[in-house]
Amino acid sequence: MRSPRLFTSMLALGVLLPVSAIALPHPMPVMKDHAALSVFSRKKTITLSLRNASPAVLELRAGERILTLEPGKTATVVLPLGVEIVFNKATSKSKAGDLVVTAAGYLDQTTVTVH
C-alpha cells in the first residue's frame, strides 16, 4: 500500500519540480556601455540618392536638413532609418509637407526619382 503512494508522490514531484524551476523568472544582468552590446545599439543609416525628374527646382526636407534639387540633378544623402523626406515648398504636383519617402533598410544604395 505504501509503495503506490510513494510512487505517486515521486511522480508528482518529478513532473512539477522542473516546470516550476523553468517558469521562475531569471534575473537579467545589467551591462551598460559594454563593448559587445555597442554593436547592437548603433543607429543604422542608409545612403539614398534623390533625382529630380521635374522641370522645376525642388526643395525637400529630410529631418532638419533642407535639400535643393536642380532639374535633372541627383543628390546623395546619408540618413538614419525612419527619417521622412517631404516637400518643403509646394510645386505644381505636390503640396508642402507631402511625403516623398521614408528612409528604410531596403532603400539602401537606391535612387528615388522625384517628379
Write out pLDDT tens, residues 46-86. Answer: 999 999 999 999 999 998 999 999 999 999 999 999 999 99
Residue 48 identity? L
For residue 84, count other CB atoms closer than 10 A to its CB: 14
The CATH number given to whatever domain includes residue 65 is: 2.60.40.780
| Mean pLDDT calculated for residue range 32-38 | 49
Domain that holds residue 76: 41-114
Assigned domain for 26 exists = no
By CB atoms closer than 10 A (0-12, 13-18, 19+), residue 63 is middle
Predicted local confidence at residue 99, as pLDDT: 94
Predicted local confidence at residue 30, as pLDDT: 53
Assigned domain for 11 exists = no
| Residue pLDDT, tens place only, 3-29 | 777 777 777 766 666 555 555 555 555
Q: What is the 3-state secondary structure (H, E, C) of 47-73?
A: EEEEEECCCCCEEEEECCEEEEECCCC
What's the pTM value of the predicted model, to 2 decimals? 0.61
Predicted local confidence at residue 38, as pLDDT: 47
| 75: three-class secondary structure by DSSP | strand
Residue 86 identity? V
Q: What's the number of domains the chain is made of?
A: 1
